[in-house]
Amino acid sequence: MASSSSNLTTSIHSLTEMIKLVQIKLDRNNYLYWRTLMSPILKGHGVFGYVDPMNPIPIPPTETLDSATNNPVPNPDYKEWRRLDAIILSCIYATVTEPVLAQLIGLETARETWNYLETSYFNENSARVPELRQQLQTLQKENLSMDEYWLKIKGITNVLDFVRQSLSDRDLIISTLRGLGPEYQSFVTGIMARPNLPSFYELRAFLLAEEIRLNFLPL
């Protein structure tokens, strides 16, 4: 038990050092980037259970019984749990912007704070689903580079995936091809004529290759 506690303390120290290197500060627009970065950091340090409601670590009771008197006394395990939770909570605080931090005042544990952020982002973007779908329907590549265009679509689909409104690869490919200019018409025809459409991720490589080919065509 002592060895386990010592290992966790060492891991917590490593966590606080790594958090200093995190460059992303959570604001109202970048939650998915922030969560993508923070989740593996917490998992890698063995403390994700402190924030994960689906697989939470058990919270020790605040009191235990004295073996000699059978009277309730403060539980040292609970005190240690609160100490570690406070450190994890401070790591979350260190990676958010001031406007976000203002929303977190009054939340007492790392799990409450993590869940508040996730629920807030989920609810806000669930209301935007019709708008996001419309963006996919109307987005045009125009003067964007192909990578910028693909990433713009990927950003929209990331949000739709998070709020459990995912699109099929076929729908994503059709939306992506729809926004290309007339110079890509033969490319679009070739993709749609395939017996098996590529995945959305595979399509990116084809798009980049076609962009390069067009850039090297003689004027």
Three-state secondary-structure class, residue 96:
strand
148-175 tens-digit pLDDT: 999 999 999 999 999 999 999 999 999 9
Q: Which two tokens stand for residue 136?
A: 């996919």
Task: Give the mean pLDDT of the chain.
Answer: 91
12-40 tens-digit pLDDT: 888 988 898 888 999 999 999 999 999 99
Classify residue 196 as left (phi > 0), alpha (psi -120 to 50) or beta: beta
Is the confidence at residue 2, as pLDDT, over 60? no
The residue with greater pLDDT, 219 or 210, is: 210
What's residue 1's pLDDT? Answer: 47
Question: pTM (2 decimals)?
Answer: 0.83
67-112 tens-digit pLDDT: 777 777 888 888 889 999 999 999 999 999 999 999 999 999 999 9
Is the confidence at residue 4, as pLDDT, over 70? no
What's residue 104's pLDDT? Answer: 98
Averaged over 142-150, what is the pLDDT? Answer: 97
Which whole-number Å values give the CA distances from 162 to 16, 17, 100, in the listed order?
Answer: 28, 29, 20
